[in-house]
Amino acid sequence: MFTRKPLSAFLVAVSFIFVPLSTRTFAQASRENLMEEQAESSEQSVLMDRLFKAVNLNAAKKQDLLELPGITRDLAEKIIAYRVKIGFYKDPEQLLAIDGVTDLIFGDIVEFIYAKQMPEVQPVLSKFSLRTRISNKVKFRAEPLKTYNRMRFQLLGLVDGGFLAEKDVGEKRFDDLRLFYLEFKKQKLHGIVGNYLLEFGQGLGMWGPYGFSKSAEATFALRKKGKGIGKYQSVDENAGLFGGAFAYRLSHFSLYAFSSRNQLDATPGTDDSVEGISTNTVHIDSADFERKNNLTETLLGARVELSRNQTFKLGITAHTYAFDKVIANSNLERNRFNFRGANNHIFASDWSYTREDFRIFGEIARSKSGGLAFINGVSFKQKRVKMAFLYRDYSRDFHNLHGFGFGDSNGATRNERGYYSGLAIQLSDDTTIKSYFDIFSSHWRSFSEPLPPSGDDFSLQIEHFFNRNLQLTARLKSKLKPDLAINPGQPPHDNKDIIQKRRSLLRIQFDMRVSNQVKLRSRVEKIYLHSSDLTGSSGHKQEEGFLIYQDLKCRPTKWFQLTGRITFFKTDSFGSRVFQFENDLPGVLTNRMLYGDGAHFYLLATCRFPFGLAFHTKYSESVSRQKQISTQRNKKMSVQIDFKLE
């Protein structure tokens, strides 16, 4: 559909416009735009914590309120004015009395707000919350339930703590995965014991398992804002650290020290080695149990950070980790630069300088093998234009188990080089354009490609308000990335086996506001997958995919909310599959993949009761026919109970 040269020329011409979105829609748009680029295993709650911190209505400044989804400048001012009027908020629901805070807006922010007064005497137990979730995939016979149980609390106003017990479908014990943490935070000292994660700099040296990279928002969430020490309550069994971490703030300096001793799942190899760390962490059969907790990792590290006001920050991190077994990594050509051995140490340095209209940030890191990873970005902001440029270069022999760098492959900080430019322009009060262009390549072949792949990625999104009730979002995305031809039985080593794949997406979406209680959305999406081999000899192939869905969201009273969607889809093949980001239970991220020919629907209901109790349930059903042969039916039901006590 697109060829490279005219596209690059066009993009260079266009890439000088950046526009910040109108605050009215900005925060609301970004949540879904950012989430739809995430893999389904990501934890929405963790990502949401990055975007939207919990806000205490009684202590919030206007800036804090603006960060909540759907809150405009006008609303933030009203919320603060109302607080002055009534003294202090006793209950977040008092917000509904403010003119302009509709039920739907309230529903979008309710998870992130609370109203806490500063009591004279700290109660022993406060901020207590419980979450239980049970899902049932109506297909599995043995152990069809997936359960999630989480508890959080605060003691004496100083110490936060939490427990988590999770079980996947097919696993026997409800606490197959167990996590806990205790966190202490006072003015200068911050410490955590238990399962925790660390986020420093731009993610090359040390970061947790989740983060944002490219998204339709183009200029949002490019610069990572590491939160330093944080709790780990995600269900990825092989990520996170277990031990203790402490931070001490001394005038302009912050000092961190951390250590961890964690057990990971790893596939056993010959002698006393392991093949590699598992990506599959489900424990059902005996082979799974052989992998479980097979490898012990011991980690130790420290960090020094210098920061002046909110403008300048410089940090140096050093850490080392060692395994009790050697990681072998089979001796294949493609693995030549992979990590091998039993230990690694990382030195990293990060910087960031912020001014009102200009920002520069970056990090450089080196691993034991001598490999270097580097990233640097600049962003410019004017009244209606916002621009960002990022350059990254991660060498092929840079290894870091605990990094998450910005890149095309989400998460990996290895073997990639790329130039990214992003742009957002606010053409008028009603129209906004967001666009990015990324050119990337690899230094060495990877797991799936016999030659170092290179590609590009372009996205353009136009948002326009026809009137208060109708918003149009049009999106165009095109990504070229080589892939491997499926050639069973033969190891790929030939040019003939590489396919150039260009996947393009065209989406038209209408968001309609019927009333303060009811919203509709209609989306039509078309996918084109164009494949051709490198030598061009065996011709081209074009596969298409199509999706149309209708969403309804209504909140007739503040106690009850109902969301429903009907989707019809048709794709020529698995390659041209379509994705849809779905609303789900709080904390669950669902990016559903649909392929074949069929229809899907889901219903999501939320009931809020007094005393901090909320009940959520979701039912979804899909039918699809693949290639005239089989019909797949999928039904899924899940229930979640949330209890929160301030």
Smallest distance, Å, CB 570 to other proteins?
Answer: 7
- In whole angstroms, give the CA distance from residue 245 to residue 256: 7
Q: Which stretch binds other proteins (CB under 8 A): 92-100, 111-119, 147-155, 544-552?
A: 544-552
Angle CA 44–38–318, to nearest 5: 85
Q: Identify which of residues 522 and 538 has a Cβ nearer to other proteins in the complex.
A: 522
Smallest distance, Å, CB 501 to other proteins?
Answer: 22
CB-neighbour burial class of residue 330 (10 A; exposed 0-12, middle 13-18, buried 19+):
exposed
State which amino acid sits at residue 59.
A
Q: Identify which of residues 242 and 569 has a Cβ nearer to other proteins in the complex.
A: 569
* 522 scored as a contact of other proteins (CB under 8 A): yes
Would you state the structure tokens that stand for residue 238, as one six-digit string? 């092989």
Which residue(s) pair with 394 in the sheet? 373, 416
Residue with tokens 């164009």: 530
Binding to other proteins (CB under 8 A) within 188-207 occurs at none
Q: Identify which of residues 243 and 575 has a Cβ nearer to other proteins in the complex.
A: 575
Q: Using an 8 Å Cβ cutoff, are 387 and 422 in contact? A: yes
Q: Identify which of residues 396 and 519 has a Cβ nearer to other proteins in the complex.
A: 519
Contact mark string toward other proteins, 402..441, x via CB under 8 A: ----------------------------------------
Which of 499, 583, 598, 638 is close enough to bind other proteins by CB under 8 A? 598
Q: Identify which of residues 286 and 467 has a Cβ nearer to other proteins in the complex.
A: 467
Would you state the structure tokens that stand for residue 85, as one six-digit string? 């009027």
Would you state the structure tokens that stand for residue 55, as one six-digit string? 């806000």
Smallest distance, Å, CB 468 to other proteins?
Answer: 8
Binding to other proteins (CB under 8 A) within 358-387 occurs at none
Applying CB under 8 A, what is the total number of residues that bind other proteins?
Answer: 25
Smallest distance, Å, CB 519 to other proteins?
Answer: 10
Angle CA 369–371–376, to nearest 5: 150
Q: Identify which of residues 462 and 554 has a Cβ nearer to other proteins in the complex.
A: 554
Q: Identify which of residues 421 and 509 has a Cβ nearer to other proteins in the complex.
A: 509
Which of 155, 412, 518, 639 is close enough to bind other proteins by CB under 8 A? 518
Of 557, 577, 581, whose CA–CA distance to 569 is shortest?
577
* 599 scored as a contact of other proteins (CB under 8 A): yes
State which amino acid sits at residue 365.
A
- In whole angstroms, give the CA distance from residue 439 to residue 408: 9
Q: Which stretch binds other proteins (CB under 8 A): 181-189, 242-250, 325-333, 594-602?
A: 594-602
Q: Identify which of residues 248 and 466 has a Cβ nearer to other proteins in the complex.
A: 466
Q: Which stretch binds other proteins (CB under 8 A): 238-246, 264-272, 357-365, 543-551?
A: 543-551
Binding to other proteins (CB under 8 A) within 606-645 occurs at 623, 625
Which of 552, 605, 607, 639 is close enough to bind other proteins by CB under 8 A? 552
- In whole angstroms, give the CA distance from residue 70 to residue 136: 33
Smallest distance, Å, CB 635 to other proteins?
Answer: 12
* 528 scored as a contact of other proteins (CB under 8 A): no
Which of 1, 427, 566, 645 is close enough to bind other proteins by CB under 8 A? 566
Q: Using an 8 Å Cβ cutoff, are 349 and 363 in contact? A: yes
Spell out the residues 6+ positions from residue 43 whose beta carbon is closer than 8 angstroms to its own: 210, 234, 235, 236, 587, 589
Smallest distance, Å, CB 430 to other proteins?
Answer: 11
Q: Identify which of residues 184 and 546 has a Cβ nearer to other proteins in the complex.
A: 546
- In whole angstroms, give the CA distance from residue 121 to residue 436: 52
Q: Identify which of residues 514 and 645 has a Cβ nearer to other proteins in the complex.
A: 514
* 514 scored as a contact of other proteins (CB under 8 A): yes
- In whole angstroms, give the CA distance from residue 19 to residue 21: 6
Q: Identify which of residues 314 and 599 has a Cβ nearer to other proteins in the complex.
A: 599
* 601 scored as a contact of other proteins (CB under 8 A): yes
| Per-residue DSSP letter, 291 | H
Binding to other proteins (CB under 8 A) within 219-258 occurs at none
Sequential DSSP letters for 533-550? ETT-TT-EEEEEEEEEEE
Q: Which stretch binds other proteins (CB under 8 A): 216-224, 374-382, 512-520, 611-619?
A: 512-520
Q: Which stretch binds other proteins (CB under 8 A): 264-272, 294-302, 442-450, 519-527?
A: 519-527
Q: Using an 8 Å Cβ cutoff, are 186 and 172 in contact? A: no
- In whole angstroms, give the CA distance from residue 443 to residue 447: 13
Q: Identify which of residues 16 and 466 has a Cβ nearer to other proteins in the complex.
A: 466
DSSP tally for the chain: helices H, then strands E: 7, 31
Smallest distance, Å, CB 138 to other proteins?
Answer: 16
Which residue(s) pair with 184 in the sheet? 159, 191
* 525 scored as a contact of other proteins (CB under 8 A): no
Q: Identify which of residues 538 and 631 has a Cβ nearer to other proteins in the complex.
A: 631
- In whole angstroms, give the CA distance from residue 409 to residue 570: 27
**Using H for helix, E for strand and C for coil, what is the string for 369-382?**
CCCEEEEEEEEEEC
- In whole angstroms, give the CA distance from residue 75 to residue 73: 6
Q: Using an 8 Å Cβ cutoff, are 291 and 236 in contact? A: no
Which of 193, 548, 603, 613 is close enough to bind other proteins by CB under 8 A? 548
Contact mark string toward other proteins, 492..511, x via CB under 8 A: ------------------x-
Sequential DSSP letters for 119-161? -SS--SEEEEEEEEEEEEETT-SSS-EEEEEEEEEEETTTEEE
Contact mark string toward other proteins, 444..483, x via CB under 8 A: ----------------------xx-xx-------------
Q: Identify which of residues 485 and 552 has a Cβ nearer to other proteins in the complex.
A: 552
Binding to other proteins (CB under 8 A) within 254-313 occurs at none
DSSP 3-state assignment of 400?
Answer: coil
Q: Give the 3-state secondary structure percentages of the chain, helix then strand then coil, rounded to 5.
A: 10, 50, 35
Handedness of CA 335, 337, 340, 344 (dihedral sign): negative
Backbone angles phi, psi at 438, to 5 degrees: -130, 130
Smallest distance, Å, CB 136 to other proteins?
Answer: 21
* 570 scored as a contact of other proteins (CB under 8 A): yes
Of 478, 444, 448, 485, whose CA–CA distance to 461 is shortest?
478
Would you state the structure tokens that stand for residue 261, as one six-digit string? 């001793």
Q: Which residues bind other proteins (CB under 8 A)?
A: 466-467, 469-470, 510, 512, 514-515, 518, 520, 522, 524, 546, 548, 550, 552, 566, 568, 570, 597-599, 601, 623, 625
